[in-house]
Chains A and B, each alone.
Chain A
Amino acid sequence: MRAALEVAREGVDVALLSKVYPLRSHSVAAQGGINAAVGDDDSWENHAYDTVKGSDYLGDQDAIEVLCREATDDIIELERMGTVFSRRPDGRIDQRPFGGAGFPRTCYVADITGQALLHVLHEQVLKLNVRTYDEWFVTSLIVEDGRCRGAVAMNMRDGRIEALPAKAVIVAAGGFGRIYTPTSNSLISTGDGHALAYRAGAPLMDMEFVQFHPTTLKESGVLITEGARGEGGYLLNAEGERFLARYAPNKMELAARDVVSRAEQTEIDEGRGVDGCVLLDLRHLGKKLINERLFQIRELALDLTNTDFVDAPVPVRPGMHYAMGGIKTDADGASPIDGLYAAGECACVSVHGANRLGGNSLLETIVFGRRAGKAAAEYAEGQPSPQVTPAAAERDTKAIAELMSRPPDGERMADLRAEMGAAMNKGVGIFRTRDGIAAALDKVRELKRRWRNVQVQNKGKVFNLELLSVIELGFMIDLAEVIALGALDREESRGAHSRRDFPDRDDQSWMKHTIAYQRPDGPQLSYAPVTKTRWEPEKRVY
């Protein structure tokens, strides 16, 4: 939506198309906040340094400088759009401490920051009267003569498939959490944007870097905000010890997410966990603060675990949360394919490198959504009206007809998805080894074959969600293969990619981005250099 606003402001015709109504998108679930150096004693350079260090020196420093330098103006603009930021006593925007940050830099709206921002952007979309195609599912991007000329999409209300010509396309479709089980991500986070671009010939970058959030609920994977630790919450093991003292003595619970998640998993693996979890203890914060600033997670924990943060610690564990990798773009959101742009979680600029800092993802959607919108609008103005050949829509219509006509005795989508989720969690999770990754990769390749035999019982045209879930599963299997292959080849440990068989970071051989192109027999990997501006790699200690 931020991208669409910018296109509209440039006076260029734009439409938003999504498989859900805009308010249902997964950004709505972001809780803790959005980073910007708006504080008097802070600076964008501090923010950039923390981000570079957080990325374990894989982030491109020129892109990180853009992110952090432009963050403050974007926050002020969001405030002027009407965001009800939590305030300091003097009326200015309040900021809370967050993981991996040297300054309390995270602006927030209690623990519903994502919802607040998504709704504010939607208000602006309504104000500027941006056209929306709600509940349209994109089946492919149209790339002809090396240029992106639109998309093919299905109107979910009647099953009609249409080619939608466009001078430029911005993909802002979020993450792929559903490749893993469990995940904090929404049921709709199925990597559609990543997969559509990949299948259209765009490269994916750094896909093996998958963030595990330190505090998710055990069974559902539902997120408990980092803000809980930002406000002073403790993580305890079975012995009641604040174990982070042994892993990150300076920052304790507020070390970077990869560090905290590894610490938790080590405690659990070494027998100091509680039923496969550690404990998040907020009791000492008091009921008043919890109700004012963390009311949503209090209610979530009550609903889902029958535990009240006010009275008792809540069991949490690391859970798949975020994709650092994505469609390779420059700092204007442009992919290597003319006319194809990407922004947000599905893009890889790269500002997060090997590990994203909490509070930087909402920021990325705003800064790079705006920049992609501006660049795409400028590009589109110089383009002739796109002509789309009927072949594009016909190909997808045929493919879907084939899916619908499969015999009803095939395999179930949900069984394949469960096998993929378990294999990826086990083999390409927090700690990885050659054998573990290879086993996951074998499983994914097996699932790729079996996908062709998945059944679609529902032959209806109206809201056929079973059909869409089979297509989504196909997207996810393609991406899982890229993730696993990238992880297998990267023989070092960096950020969220932690190899037990290669425990050290290897800047000599591996301070480089992984690039994946789709080829008929699977992903083809190559590597690209990291851009360094002013920060030399250091040992990463919290």
Chain B
Amino acid sequence: MEARLRVRRYDPSTDGTPTYQSYAIEVAGSATILDTLLKIREQVDGTLAFRCACRSAICGSCAMRVNGVSRLACKTKVVSVAARGQEVTVEPLANLPVIKDLVADMEPFYDKMRAVIPWLEIDPAKRMPLREYLVDAARSMKLSQYAACIQCAVCYSACPIVAIDDRYLGPAALTKAFRFCHDPRDDGTALRLARVAQEQGLWRCHTIFSCAEQCPKAVNPTEAIQGLKRIALLRRLGLGRKA
């Protein structure tokens, strides 16, 4: 079938403003947006820039906007977003600067991930177990739902709060914070809350659920942020045992 893409092009070193370029190319009926972009770059236009790696929705490289919706290009079939022959608009992630074409500058997003103390924080005075920590199986499974975040920034691009407040930490970073605060092995909740329980942090979330809706990995950041709010509130009320 013929896929028709309308791609936002931008090269900051030469162009003043972004332009849109249309491509039409034959692809298999099962082709994804990524398959189509690859074919365009390899056969039609070598100047087209976009990131990609695994093709199987786990590396988080190819997030972009497809008809205005933030998605992984490798997980989005052309036929699922366009009726036969219809043109699909492809743009870089929102809420981030653009390096070239569909390549967003991820640094502001990564900076916010780094800001939430995104690692298991262990009290050095704590007595360590001889072997592994024992963790309840159901708790571990719940944690793996949040650990399944691939940091693709789809949620960051989809979040209407990030769009109006670029200092807001955003759904992925807060989910990462919750993932550790909810981990029975972690001792960093107080430290982390000092970073995230503030106006540009978790209280800024208006539970609009765009992140949860568009997350390609069913992580449900909104739920995580609610969980984090609960931990913060309980702590403030002096009931701050590990939830």
Contact = CB atoms under 8 A, between A and B. Distances in A.
Q: Do A and B bind each other?
A: yes
Interface of A: 20-21, 23-26, 28-29, 38, 75-76, 79-82, 84-94, 109-110, 112, 114-116, 119, 123-124, 126-127, 157, 186-188, 219-220, 222-223, 292, 296, 299-300, 303-304, 412-414, 456-458, 460-466, 469
B179 to A, nearest CB: 8
Interface string B1-30: 000000000011110000000000000101
A76 B147 contact: no
Contact of A76 (B11, B60, B106, B131): B131
Given A119-B147, A187-B53, A460 B13 contact: yes
Contact of B136 (A20, A91, A461): A91
A110 B59 CA distance: 17
B207 interface: no
B140 interface: yes
Contact of B58 (A29, A91, A187, A458): A29
Given A80-B122, A82-B180, A457-B46, A87 B135 contact: yes
Given A91-B137, A110-B144, A456 B60 contact: no
A465 B128 CA distance: 47
Contacts of B55: 186-187, 220, 222
B99 A463 contact: yes
22 contacts: A20-B59, A23-B60, A26-B54, A29-B58, A79-B132, A81-B120, A84-B140, A85-B135, A88-B137, A112-B58, A114-B58, A123-B120, A126-B119, A187-B52, A187-B54, A222-B56, A304-B30, A461-B13, A462-B12, A463-B49, A465-B50, A466-B46
Contacts of B28: 219
A461 B140 CA distance: 46
Contact of B120 (A82, A462, A465): A82
Nearest to B50: A465
A286 B166 CA distance: 45
Given A86-B140, A219-B30, A412-B42, A127 B59 contact: no
Q: Is the interface of B mostly helix, strand, loop or mixed?
A: loop
Contacts of A76: 131-132
A99 B45 CA distance: 44
Contacts of B52: 187
Nearest to A189: B53
Nearest to A109: B144
B57 A465 contact: no
B75 A87 contact: no
A188 B77 CA distance: 22
A74 B231 CA distance: 32
Nearest to A75: B132
Contacts of A20: 51, 53, 59, 61
A26 B120 CA distance: 23
B139 to A, nearest CB: 8
A190 B165 CA distance: 40
A487 B43 CA distance: 33
A336 to B, nearest CB: 31
Contacts of A24: 51, 53-54, 59-61
Contacts of A79: 132-133
Contacts of A29: 54, 56, 58-59
B134 interface: yes
B183 A186 contact: no
B134 A458 contact: no
A173 to B, nearest CB: 13
Contacts of B148: 112, 115
Interface of B: 11-14, 28, 30, 38, 41-43, 45-47, 49-61, 75, 77, 99-101, 103, 106, 110, 114, 118-120, 122, 128, 131-137, 140-141, 143-144, 147-148, 150-151, 180, 183, 185-186
Q: 8 closest A-B pairs (Cβ-Cβ)?
A: A91-B134, A82-B120, A466-B46, A457-B46, A414-B42, A123-B119, A87-B137, A463-B49
A116 B144 contact: yes
B212 to A, nearest CB: 17
A86 B137 contact: yes
Nearest to B142: A84
A300 B56 contact: yes
Q: Which of A26, A79, A223 has the most CB of B within 10 A?
A: A79
B93 to A, nearest CB: 14
A186 B60 CA distance: 12
B144 A86 contact: yes
B150 A23 contact: yes
A200 to B, nearest CB: 25
Contact of A23 (B46, B120, B134, B151): B151
Contacts of B147: 84, 109, 116, 119
A127 B137 contact: no
A355 B54 CA distance: 23
A89 B82 CA distance: 47
B60 A127 contact: no
A369 to B, nearest CB: 18
A112 B144 contact: yes
Contacts of B49: 462-465
A303 B132 contact: no
Contacts of B131: 38, 76, 92
B210 to A, nearest CB: 21
Contacts of A84: 135, 140, 143-144, 147, 183
B59 A186 contact: yes
A110 B75 CA distance: 20
A186 B51 CA distance: 12
Contact of A115 (B45, B58, B128, B137): B58
B125 to A, nearest CB: 15
Nearest to B101: A463
Contacts of A457: 45-47
Contacts of B57: 299-300, 303
Nearest to B77: A303
Contact of A124 (B50, B119, B143, B183): B119
Residue among B60, B120, B143, B180 having the largest count of chain A Cβ atoms under 10 Å: B120
A352 B72 CA distance: 34
A18 B147 CA distance: 23
Nearest to B185: A82
Nearest to B146: A84
A481 to B, nearest CB: 23
Given A20-B53, A29-B58, A462 B134 contact: no
